[in-house]
Structure formats: C-alpha cells, structure tokens
Structure 1
Amino acid sequence: MAGSTMLARLEQLAGLALIVTVLADVFLNVLYARAGIAIISRPLAHGVRAVFVGVGRLFPTHRPRILSFCGPAIVVALLFTWVAGLTIGSAMVLQPALGTALRTFGEPIGHGFATALYVAAGLISSAGAGGLSPHTTAYNLFFAFDSFLGISVMTLAITYLMQLYAALQARDELALKVELMTGQTGDAARLVAGLGPDGRFETGYAILAEIAAELSRVKEAHHLYPVLFYFRFPQALYELSRFTLVLLDAVALIRAGLEPRAAGWLQRSAGLEHLERGGLVLIETLHRVYLRDEGEGPEEPAPEEVAAWRRRFGRGLAVLREAGCPVRRDLARAGDAYVRLRNQWNDPLLRLGGAIGHEPAEIDAALHDPQPLRDKPEPTAPLIH
C-alpha cells in the first residue's frame, strides 16, 4: 500500500514537472521571445528540419517543395507538443485520484490513464471534466488552474501565430523588394547601379536607409520568433540568406568599388553603416542560434574562392561603370578590399542557406553565373509561390 502511494506521488510530481516545463517553453517562446533559449522548441525544430531534409534527399526532384512545408510543420508540431504536454502532465496528476478525490454521481468511473487523459483534455480545452467532480480543496484548485491554463496557452498560441505570419510577410516583402531592385537577377551591382544612376546617389540614399531599417526589423523578428528561420519557399529569391547576401554585397561594392572622391559621402554615411552592421548582426544571431552545433567555418577562404570573388567583383564594376557610376581605377587594391569585406559574411550566409536546403548557386546567383548580366535578356521568371 505504501509502495503504491509512493508511486502515485511520484507520478503526480512528474506530471507537475512536465506542466512546468511546457509552461516555461511557452513563456520563453511567446512572452520572453529571445532566440536560442527555449527548452522544447529548439530541439523539436531541429528534429523536424532533419526529417524534412532527409525526405528531400530521397526525392531530389521535389526537394524544394518538400522543404517548403518544414516551417509550417514545425509550428504544428510545437503547438501539438505544448497541448499534449499539458494534457499528459495533467493526466498524471489526476489519475491517482480517480474514484477517490475525483468521483461521479452514481456511475462507475475508470481508473486507467486513458480516463485521466480524457478528463485532462476536457479541462485544458474548457469542455468540462466529463462528469467528474473534485471532492477535495486541492483538486478543486487544480481543476480551476487547469482550465485557466488551457485558455491562456491557447490565447497565447493564437496571438503567436498571428504575429509570426505578420513577421513572415514583412520578411517576404523585403526579399521581393531586393529581388526586383536587382532586375530579378540577384546581382547586387544592379541594385547599386539603380540606386545611383549616372553616379547620383542622393535619391538612392533614402531607399538604402529604408532598406536598412527593414533589415533591422527582420533581424528582430527572427529574435522574437525563432521558428521564422525555417520558413522557406521553393523559389530561392525569398530566402533570407539570399537577400542578405545581396545587400551586403551591395555594401561591399559601394565601399570597395566606388571612387572615394565622388562617392565618399555615401561610403561614410550612417545609412550604409546601418545596412552593413544590420546584416552582420543578423548573421551573427542566426549563426549562434541555428548553427552553433555545427562549429565555425574556415577563417580564410580557399585561393580558388578568392579568385571567384575577384571575378565577381570585376563583373560588378563593369555593371556600375556602364550605369555611369564613378568606379575606382586601382582594381588590385579595390579587389583586395572587396575580398576582405566579403570574407566577413560569405561562408556563414551560405551555411545558413544550406541549413534549410538551398544550394550556393541559389543564394549567390551573381557569383555562380559567369555570363555578363548585360548580355542577358530580361528575366521573366514568375514570382508566384
């Protein structure tokens, strides 16, 4: 008898611990809202991502479409885990009291865990306790607590979903804006040329400052809603790593490629500094949260990679020169500066894109396409996703 009582108490303590763990995860995700500190959601998201990546490898032709369901599936799994954890934890607290402190009027009651789950699910969903009534003060309080808990968590979950998808829309709008400003090429040189046609960047500076502000909002959105990182579409243009790379590449072209005497004010401007540092902080945050288990990349790029960067820089300068932008003449020193700037963000951005199934050529189209962009017909690729 004493042994069964001890087991019942241990079961109830385990149930309470499970409830507290779930509540802590809800608090950290929805209310505290800082990336990288959640208890359940981070390993859960990594596990779901691993499943989708594995399935995508089995069906390579459908891989982009399969991986596009990863983000929504993580959200469903997270919400189900929260509700299931609260329900199972409550059932573990209630089961030892079935038939004693919890009774029905005139009808027999089962004592199994399935009955306890049924009662707990009714309390969590506020649908009632299935005819059971508590006969002690402690269980009266627990019934009230469980009902309040269910209403609170469901309300927070609905609010979380609304804010999550609002943040996703804002990120997609920025991605589409950057893509269209490159002429749907993914080439930062086209963006810079459009900001300063004939070398006049006065109007383009306001657009650059606006993009920097939007990038900061995207960074904070990923801090508030970590699961946002796993949302991806089959089209790479909506990928976070792609538009961040384009923006940082634009910064590198402005800093390293433009003539300081004509564009020095732009190179020293707060807007350009905001855009550059915003992109680097975003990379650092995402790398720390999502790739911290995979270690750091190489500190120095391989010689063949440096050569590819220099070729890309040369093509970018050609686009800027054709648009009438003032470019530097000392190409060797300008190329060295470009390589130094690019080395800060190239590898982590490609690794972040690869973490959700994008190839380097999708993330950095300008680097992996040797054909000069001015010789190409205008792109007509649809943007529907």
Structure 2
Amino acid sequence: MNWFLTAGGFLLTSLGVWETFMAVLHPRATVGPITKVINRGFHFLVRTRTFAHPRVLVHCGPVLIVTQVLCWATLLLIGISLIAWPQLGTGITATGSNPTNTDFASAVYYSGFTITTLGVGDLVPRTPAMQFLTITAAGLGFSFFTLVLAYVISVYSTLARRNQFANEIEYRTGRTGDSLGYLRAYLSDSDPSLVNQDLYTLSSNMAELLESHHFYPVLHYFRFSEPWYAMSRMLRFCLEVSSMMRAARQVDSSKPAASPEAVDRLWHASMQMLEGTKRHFVICHSTHDEPDPRLAIEISRSIGNSDELSSQLKAAFVDQQSAWLHDLNALAVCTRSEALRDS
C-alpha cells in the first residue's frame, strides 16, 4: 500500500511539474494534457446559456488562468502529500514529545508548508530520504511560484500588445471597424509607398500576434466588452484589406499597386493566425458563409471602375474571401464578441 501511494504521488508530482514547466518554459512545443482538458472544458462551459452572458465572458481569461494555476498547484501538493503520508510517524515526526498525526490532512499540511517554504517546524523529516524529499519539495515550490509569476506577467504583457494592435486598426478605420475607408484611400492614391510601409507594419504585428497565441493559448479566452478588441474583428480587417488588394492586382495590373510582397505577407500572416486559432481553440459552427461582395461593389463605385472591371473585381474578391469567410465567422460565433455582418 505504501509503495502504491508513493508511486501515485510521484506520478502526480511529475504531472504537475510537467504541466507547469511546459506552459511556461516550452509553451510553443506542447500543452499538457490537464491544461488542454481545462481549456476545452472551459470553452464549452462558457458557451452554455448560464455562462454566455457578456458580463461573464469578460472574466473568462483571468478565471481560466486562476483555474490552471490552481490545478497545477493541486497536482504538486497532492503528489508530494501522497509521498509523505506513509512516512508520518517514522520518517516524518512531530517535534518534542507530541504524538505524530498520521492522517492525510497532516501529510497535506506538511507538504503545504514545505512547498511554500514557510518552514513551520512542528513536523520534521528524520530520515535521509525524507530530508531529501523536503529539500526537493521546497525547490519545486519555489520554482513553481516563480514560473507562475513569469507566466502571468508574460500573458498580460502580450495581451497589452494585442490590445494596442487592435486600437491601431481601430484608428485606421476611423473607429468604425470597416475596412472600406482604408481601402478607398489606397486604391485612389497614385503613390503606394505609404501603404506599403503600413502593410509591412500590419503583417509584422500579425506575425507577432500569431506567435504569442501559439505560446499562450489562454489569450484566446480574454474577451472585452469593447468590440474593437475582438480577435475576429482584427482578422476581418486584415483579411479584407489583403484580399481586396490581391483581387485588385489580379483585375487591373495597370494601376499603381502596393508591393505584392507586403500584401502577401499580411495575407499569409492573417491566414496563419486564423489556422492557428483552429488548432488551439475550438471553432464553433457558423451559418453565415455566403460570400459578401459588398466591399468590392463599394470600392468599385468609389473609384469609378467600369462595369466590366467591377464585375471582375467582385468575382476576384469573392474568390479570395471564400478561403477564410467560414472560419472567421465561426470564430466570431465562438467568442461572441463580434456581431456577424449578416445577422
């Protein structure tokens, strides 16, 4: 029985260390099984009617981080407690002449003050094995709290950069979230140098956003009451801009065009971000997947295209749009943070 408890405690401790270290030190490689279950379960929970209220959803990210940290800490605490429990009264005893309690609560108490490095001292290790366990548990506890602090700081600093990017997009659209004004200015301008520079900036920011969400999938669950902070809204702007520019390049190559490299970089970075969201997040079902050519129609009217060019631009834009429309609308349904345009 003692060996069974020790083996189980070792496995739980190893799992807790694995979950914590992978989430903080090597997050790009993998997500621990417990963390993955928590993320998926949390996602389905907040989609229920009880928890789907906007005032509840804005607390998703912080609550998920607290839940993750508590689960990691519980695995570490219970694991070390199971190792120490069989040793109470022999390898670990009370100081002085006091009798040693041998219940599981005492094992949790001993493990708790060891992991937190409080060092209460009313229970002390007597054998070399338990002394080694105490030192190891204290080292793991100190490392755990250090890593959790680094994890929280990293997540919130990345979130601040994401929100800054969202605000920059909001300013580019005149605080409307509509890419029409941005595109109209580009297509009617004979000098594409400024828009080239801006496209490179957008693609660089989107690539940084992509990598940060690969590192910390919990960022997907941070939602805000302000609609311009929605990931779906940021992606919609970037994908509409790059899709329209790619379509315009196909239709009328005689017009001064933005750099194909700059446009394609924004397109591929945005598509990777959307694809990465599908892998690290649960995409919902969307029923709003009909192509929406209104943007191409409005652009054609504003720059005075002929009927033939307007039809060609509309067809080219719809073709580009079909590559991302379903997944983007599904993301909007998942996060409940952006109303679909057709709803």
TM-score for the superposition, normalised by structure 2: 0.92
Matches within 5 A, 1:102-181: 102-105=92-95, 106-128=97-119, 130-181=121-172
2:9 maps to 1:18: no
The answer for the alignment partner of 1:90 in structure 2 is: 80
CA distance in 2, matches of 1:129, 1:39: 34
The answer for the alignment partner of 1:203 in structure 2 is: 194
Residues 327 and 157 from structure 1, CA distance in 2 versus in 1: closer, same or farther, beyond 3 angstroms?
Answer: farther
The answer for the alignment partner of 2:253 in structure 1 is: 260
Encode CA deviations 1:86-125: one digit per residue, 9 max, x unaligned: 1111111111111111012221121111111111110111
CA distance in 1, matches of 2:132, 2:306: 74
Deviation of 1:329 (Å): 4.8
| One-letter amino acid matched to 1:337 | A
2:335 maps to 1:341: no
Residues 179 and 35 from structure 1, CA distance in 2 versus in 1: closer, same or farther, beyond 3 angstroms?
Answer: farther
| One-letter amino acid matched to 1:330 | L
Encode CA deviations 1:55-105: one digit per residue, 9 max, x unaligned: xx2477xx2221010011000111111111111111111111111110122
Query: Structure 1 stretches of 5 or more lacking a match?
Result: 1-6, 362-366, 370-385
Encode CA deviations 1:178-213: one digit per residue, 9 max, x unaligned: 112111222112122345653432112111111110
Q: Secondary structure at the match of 1:198?
A: coil
The answer for the alignment partner of 1:27 in structure 2 is: 21
Residues 93 and 104 from structure 1, CA distance in 2 versus in 1: closer, same or farther, beyond 3 angstroms?
Answer: same
Residues 360 and 335 from structure 1, CA distance in 2 versus in 1: closer, same or farther, beyond 3 angstroms?
Answer: same
2:42 maps to 1:48: yes
Deviation of 1:9 (Å): 1.4
Contact 1:350 1:360 in 2 (8 A): no
CA distance in 2, matches of 1:273, 1:198: 20
Deviation of 1:225 (Å): 0.9
Q: Percent identity?
A: 25
The answer for the alignment partner of 2:294 in structure 1 is: 311
Deviation of 1:130 (Å): 4.2
CA distance in 2, matches of 1:109, 1:195: 78
Deviation of 1:36 (Å): 5.4
| One-letter amino acid matched to 1:353 | A
Encode CA deviations 1:167-188: one digit per residue, 9 max, x unaligned: 0011111111111211122211
Contact 2:40 2:282 in 1 (8 A): no
CA distance in 1, matches of 2:261, 2:51: 47
Residues 172 and 318 from structure 1, CA distance in 2 versus in 1: closer, same or farther, beyond 3 angstroms?
Answer: farther
Deviation of 1:313 (Å): 2.3
| One-letter amino acid matched to 1:347 | H
Give the counterpart of 2:203 among 206, 212, 217: 212
In angstroms, what is the RMSD of aligned CA positions?
2.4
The answer for the alignment partner of 1:71 in structure 2 is: 61
Contact 1:49 1:356 in 2 (8 A): no
The answer for the alignment partner of 1:383 in structure 2 is: none
Deviation of 1:44 (Å): 0.6
Contact 2:243 2:321 in 1 (8 A): yes
CA distance in 2, matches of 1:25, 1:240: 27
CA distance in 2, matches of 1:244, 1:328: 30
Residues 31 and 193 from structure 1, CA distance in 2 versus in 1: closer, same or farther, beyond 3 angstroms?
Answer: same
Query: Structure 2 stretches of 5 or more lacking a match?
Result: none
CA distance in 2, matches of 1:42, 1:59: 20
Structure 1 runs of 4+ off > 6 angstroms? none
Residues 257 and 185 from structure 1, CA distance in 2 versus in 1: closer, same or farther, beyond 3 angstroms?
Answer: farther
2:290 maps to 1:290: no
Contact 2:155 2:216 in 1 (8 A): yes
Q: Secondary structure at the match of 2:256?
A: helix
The answer for the alignment partner of 2:242 in structure 1 is: 251
The answer for the alignment partner of 1:372 in structure 2 is: none
CA distance in 2, matches of 1:22, 1:16: 10
Contact 1:35 1:225 in 2 (8 A): no
CA distance in 1, matches of 2:77, 2:124: 18
TM-score for the superposition, normalised by structure 1: 0.82
